[in-house]
Chains A and B, each alone.
Chain A
């Protein structure tokens, strides 16, 4: 069975500092994708970044980068130069590369940015 674990229920970070949100996953599949989503208080899930299991380079999208360590089954999100607008829930998620696009989500980390 697939599982996503996020061990940090909440984090406080000073504005402009970098922050790392932890994520480990469990799967027996060889081909899968890893995602990070941001969920502000409005409720909408906002796609941030994607890493394929066969991608050799770590994914980057602007201030977001994904530290992918396949052997450790970890996919940590790094946010550089945090901003007040980064305060939100962050979910790590995983999807099999099969016909049904079922995404398995972790329990989330609430990130709060201090001015």
Chain B
């Protein structure tokens, strides 16, 4: 069974640029959630994708957008990067249909905005 993978592991961008982060869900999982974790804080929910549709969104501006593909992998896109976007971005997959209580997290992408 393949776990959740994320790419890249680290990324450095400058203000105003755009970034795309990628997540491959655990085998058999149809739901992917994205979280932003600023330094010294707990993760904050960005949004969730279930069967290629956005299925819930946290308090993040529209420049945070996402996609889910037919194989249930997902992308997080952030436009017009700001310094405060520097954080660890975590994705988590789950099998929503079973009412799964667990979300399995990937290792994260550490984004630095200069």
Residues of A within 8 A of B (CB): 4, 33, 35, 37, 42-47, 50, 52, 91, 93, 95, 97, 99-108
Pull 12 A–B residue pairs with CB atoms less than 8 Å apart, ordered by A.
A35-B101, A43-B88, A43-B90, A43-B107, A43-B110, A44-B105, A45-B92, A47-B103, A99-B96, A101-B94, A102-B48, A106-B42
Give CA–CA (A45, B104) in the complex, Å: 8
Give CA–CA (A108, B40) in the complex, Å: 8
Residues of B within 8 A of A (CB): 31, 33, 35, 41-45, 48, 50, 55-56, 58, 88, 90, 92, 94, 96, 99-108, 110
Across the interface, B56 reaches (CB within 8 A) one of A33, A35, A100, A108, namely: A100
Give CA–CA (A35, B100) in the complex, Å: 13
Query: Are A44 and B108 within 8 A (Cβ)?
Result: yes
Across the interface, A101 reaches (CB within 8 A) one of B42, B43, B48, B110, namely: B48
How many Å from the CB of A33 to the closest CB on chain B? 5
How many Å from the CB of B60 to the closest CB on chain A? 12
Q: Report the nearest B residue to A42, measured CB to CB.
A: B107
Query: Are B102 and A43 within 8 A (Cβ)?
Result: no
| A-B contacts, CB under 8 A, total | 67
Give CA–CA (A3, B103) in the complex, Å: 19
Most buried by A among B42, B44, B92, B107: B42
Give CA–CA (A97, B43) in the complex, Å: 19
Query: Are B31 and A101 within 8 A (Cβ)?
Result: yes
Give CA–CA (A15, B100) in the complex, Å: 34
Q: Knowing A50-B101, A101-B48, A101-B96 touch, does A44 contact B107 (C-beta < 8 A)?
A: yes
Query: Are A44 and B41 within 8 A (Cβ)?
Result: no
Query: Are A100 and B55 within 8 A (Cβ)?
Result: yes
Query: Are B103 and A103 within 8 A (Cβ)?
Result: yes
Residues in chain B near residue A100, CB distance under 8 A: 48, 55-56
